[in-house]
Amino acid sequence: MPDLNDKTLYINRELSWLKFNTRVLYQSKKKVKPLLERLKFMAIYSTNLDEFYMIRVAGLKQLYSARFISSGIDEMTPLEQLEEIRKYLHEEQNDLEESYREVTRALAHEGLYIQEFKDLPPELQKYAGEFFYENIFPVIIPIAIDATHPFPPLNNLSLSLAIKLRDNTDDHEIKFAMIRIPRLLPRFVHLAKGIYITIESLVREYIEDIFPGYEVISSTLFRVTRNADIVIEEEEADDFMEIMQQGLRLRRKGAFVRLEIERGCDSELLDFLNTYLKINPKDIYEYAIPLNLGALWDIVVDKEFSHLSEPQHVPKLLPPFDQNESIFKIIDREDAMILQPYESFEPVVRFIQDAAKDPKVLSIRMTLYRVGKNSPIVQALIDAANNGKQVTAMVELKARFDEENNLIWAKALEDAGAHVIYGIPGFKVHAKIAQVIRKSNDKLKIYLHLSTGNYNVATAKVYTDVSYFTSRDEFRADSITFFHILTGFSKNKKLNNLKMSPMQLKESLLEMIKRERTHKQKGRIIAKMNALVDPDVIKALYKASMEGVKIDLIVRGICCLRPGVEGISDNIRVISIVGKYLEHSRIFYFKHSDPSIYISSADWMPRNLEKRFELMTPIYEKSLATKLLDLLNLQLNDNVLAWELDSAGEYHLRTPKEGEKPINSQEFLENYVNRLYKATKKSTATNTPPKRKKIFK
């Protein structure tokens, strides 16, 4: 029996994540993509990298400072990981810069320019100057730095100009200063149709007006990244809301972990900055392109150049939700499922809105993780509470980078009279469930929505997720117990048909993997998720592979399992799909389980299986289970968006073989839903039922 603790059988999670972000960056290089779509992926890559440094790199630095020897089953030390991360990212800079230059040159041919002030024609320079004095000069913050003016605090991800000045008086003394560029100002200033300039080039043009009597010797734009992980001492928290607010304030003061700066900057300026910032030189990234490419989103959404973006798919309302009928009548009649974003998220919103208005509805309970700023769902909960219904909302205040938004919603719900739970000490609540209790024929009936994704209208347009509506008796007791666990005191409670972490979900997964092992070569597992990290699950998959079980894994991001190792994982195939939409759904197929298809809010990571409240939902309705299995098979046959992981830990983009038809799973699903929508409309007009086919054969 091979030693399954052998560190060489596991891929480091941080390096695996970096390769995922490389696959994101690759989308910006695809010449077949519209130019603004390519620009968008640069923005996503940059934003992803910001979060990676704020959380993962910051965490590794803390582990290193605390002298941890290793931090994972691959046994890489924190220092080894930091060194590999820095090397990888410094090398990848060239790809990012090359891609940016190529796309912006092509955009210029289309009449869309991202320029510097000096590149503008005289009439636009004049206009830019007027814009500066009217809109920028009043709000920028000039800061002298000397014995009487200390180095200022810098906000996380903030942009500033560092400046070296010469006094124009007789002594010609050299001074250092800064100009902070507030976030309320645009990163790229829009001057005219198709003309954007970087804000630093505009501010730089007028530095001597900001510091009169001084001559500019040199200047450089820089951007700092701070540790943004919030550590909450929950056991000491009397008021969890107040503790979270304090944590958010502290986030702005986290340790500096990265410095981004313009390439070729004055070495004295760099030394001046790092005297105060004290950042490891290997965490200093010098760029020959604009800093903070995440702000490219402002250009990507320019409606005057929408022809340079991907054609927008309009999510469709399909049966049974396409009729003006009570959503509760629909669910009474049949279980229903939505594949987002191909199908419309509107029925999910309607589910809560109808419940808020329906006089027969007594109670609404739901979990809220990331709901967005203008949430019609939360507004419906507020309306329900105002209408006298019993509303219980589990608002997860520890949802990273959504804490502040969730605090606002939690307060609004409380003010409306809803019962708000702020979290469970020691755990995050990541499960996606809404429960409506309604009086029907003098009995109480429970209607459920269970999902792989958040109750967020905005992300529902770009994240692929599964929404499931049911009133099955199998879930009645489980849903009641689940919310009682969240609102009351309970230890070691288990559910019967729904599976919940941290108490039983992992145990159930391991049992189902083990069951497939007993069928050896006839065993079959297909699992789709965002990340695969949990060592126990990986070992179980290795053992199943060694017994002959055929295993296909569709893992968008981090995958620590190493496929294709002879005698251990040669029956395991891993692919990652990166495309127009963010693959977010978790769907699991175990051939010899009953039922065989499950959806879940949980990835196969220790944090999801052991440190969060998650749910895994069995799909009993055969037509819906078939729909999900068809979806999995479609993605396994993708040869356009899919990257295959090899035993060395490298990903290779699949391409159609000679004579093979290209299969882009996301485009296929768009077309499938559009065809079904048209067929449904036609059948309604002609009063003939539409023919239904499998999604994929």
Residue 293 has a CB neighbour count (10 Å cut-off) of 22
CATH (residue range 33-308): 3.30.1840.10
- Of 32, 28, 42, 190, nearest to 112 (Cα)? 190
**Chain centre to alpha carbon of residue 277:** 29
- Tell the residue number behind the tokens 């879940």, with chain if given: 600
Say how far residue 250 (Cα) sits from the centre of its chain: 23
Residue 120: HSE in the Cβ half-sphere, 13 Å Cα cutoff: 24
Residue 251 has pLDDT above 70, yes or no: no
pLDDT at 229: 72
Confidence of residue 237 (pLDDT cuts 50, 70, 90): very low
The residues assigned a catalytic role are 430
Q: What is the pLDDT of residues 531-554, one digit of tens each?
A: 999 999 999 999 999 999 999 999
pLDDT reading at 248 higher than 60: no
In this predicted structure, the answer to whether residue 77 has a pLDDT above a threshold of 90 is: yes
pLDDT score recorded for residue 239: 42
- Per-residue pLDDT, 69: 81
CA distance 455 to 433: 9
Q: What is the pLDDT of residue 169?
A: 79
pLDDT of residue 423: 74
- Neighbouring residues of 628: CB distance < 8 A, sequence distance ≥ 6: 337, 466, 587, 589, 597, 599, 619
> What per-residue confidence (pLDDT) applies to 244?
41
Q: Is the dihedral of CA 648, 652, 658, 662 positive or negative?
A: positive
Calculate mean pLDDT across residues 163-181: 89
The token duo for 503 is 């108490």
- Spatial separation of the C-alpha atoms in residues 353 and 374, rounded to whole Å: 15
343: which 2 tokens? Answer: 């199908």
Distance CA 244, CA 257 (A): 22
Extract long-range pairs of 183-187: CB within 8 Å, 24+ residues apart. Answer: 183/155, 183/158, 184/139, 185/135, 185/136, 185/139, 185/140, 186/295, 186/298, 187/159, 187/290, 187/292, 187/295, 187/298
State the pLDDT at residue 236. Answer: 38
Given a contact cutoff of 8 angstroms between Cβ atoms, the answer to whether 377 and 405 are in contact is no
Q: Quick: pLDDT tens for 648-678.
A: 999 999 999 999 999 999 999 999 999 999 9
93/550 Cα distance (integer angstroms): 39
Q: Residue 491 above 80 pLDDT?
A: no
Selection from 440, 443, 463 nearest residue 451 by Cα? 463
Confidence of residue 171 (pLDDT cuts 50, 70, 90): confident
Q: Would you list the DSSP string of 368-395? A: ES---SS-HHHHHHHHHHHTT-EEEEEE
Q: Give the residue extent of every domain in the chain.
A: 33-308, 327-487, 499-663
**Overall average pLDDT of the 412-422 stretch:** 88
The pLDDT tens digits for 114-128 are 999 999 999 999 999
pLDDT tens track for 563-609: 999 999 999 999 999 999 999 999 999 999 999 999 999 999 999 99
Secondary structure element (H or E) that encloses residue 80, with its range: helix 78-109
pLDDT given at position 492: 61
Q: What is the pTM of this model?
A: 0.92
Residue-level pLDDT at 172: 80
Please name every residue paired with 258 in a beta bridge, in sequence order, or none if there are none.
225
* pLDDT for position 48: 95
C-beta of residue 313 within 8 angstroms of C-beta of residue 666:
no
What percent of the chain lies above the pLDDT cut of 90? 80
At residue 671, the 3 state secondary structure works out as: helix
Query: In a 10 Å sphere around its CB, with 0-12 CB exposed, 13-18 middle and 19+ buried, how is residue 277 labelled?
Result: middle
The class of domain 499-663 in CATH terms is alpha beta
pLDDT, position 124: 96
- DSSP code of residue 601: S
The most distant pair of C-alpha atoms in the chain lies apart, rounded to whole Å, by: 94
Transcribe 264-333 into DSSP letters. T--HHHHHHHHHHH---GGGEEEESS-S-GGGGHHHHT-GGGGGGSPPPP--B--TTSSSS--HHHHHHH
Q: Give the per-residue pLDDT at 538.
A: 98
Q: From residue 325, how far is each of 72, 349, 611, 629, 681 by CA, in Å?
A: 52, 14, 40, 29, 16
Which H, E and C letters describe 525-575, residue by residue?
EEEEECCECCHHHHHHHHHHHHCCCEEEEEECCCECECCCCCCCCCCEEEE
Mean pLDDT score across all residues of the chain: 91
Tracing tokens 């199943």 back to the chain, one arrives at 544
Q: Using a pLDDT cut of 70, give the percent of the chain over it.
A: 93
Q: What is the pLDDT of residues 8-52, one digit of tens each?
A: 999 999 999 999 999 999 999 999 999 999 999 999 999 999 999
Query: What's the average model confidence in pLDDT over 205-222?
Result: 94
The predicted pLDDT at position 231 comes to 47
Encode pLDDT of 180-198 as tens digits: 999 999 999 999 999 999 9
CB-based contact 360:438 (threshold 8 Å): yes
Residue 666: half-sphere exposure toward Cβ, Cα within 13 Å: 21
For position 252, what pLDDT does the model report? Answer: 53
252 within 8 A of 156, measured Cβ to Cβ: yes
Q: Given this chain, do its domains 33-308 and 327-487 carry the same CATH topology?
A: no
Helix or strand or coil: residue 202?
Answer: helix
Helix axes 622-636, 665-686, angle to 10 degrees: 140
Query: How does residue 72 score in pLDDT terms, banded at 50, 70 and 90?
Result: confident
Q: Computed over its alpha carbons, how large is the radius of gyration of the chain?
A: 27
Dihedral (CA of 44, 47, 52, 57) sign: positive
pLDDT digits (tens, 9 = 90+) for 359-394: 999 999 999 988 877 899 999 999 999 999 999 998
Asked if residues 617 and 589 have their Cβ atoms less than 8 Å apart, the reply is no
- Number of Cβ within 10 Å of residue 447's Cβ equals 25
Give the separation between CA 601 and CA 586, rounded to whole angstroms: 7
**CATH code given to domain 327-487:** 3.30.870.10
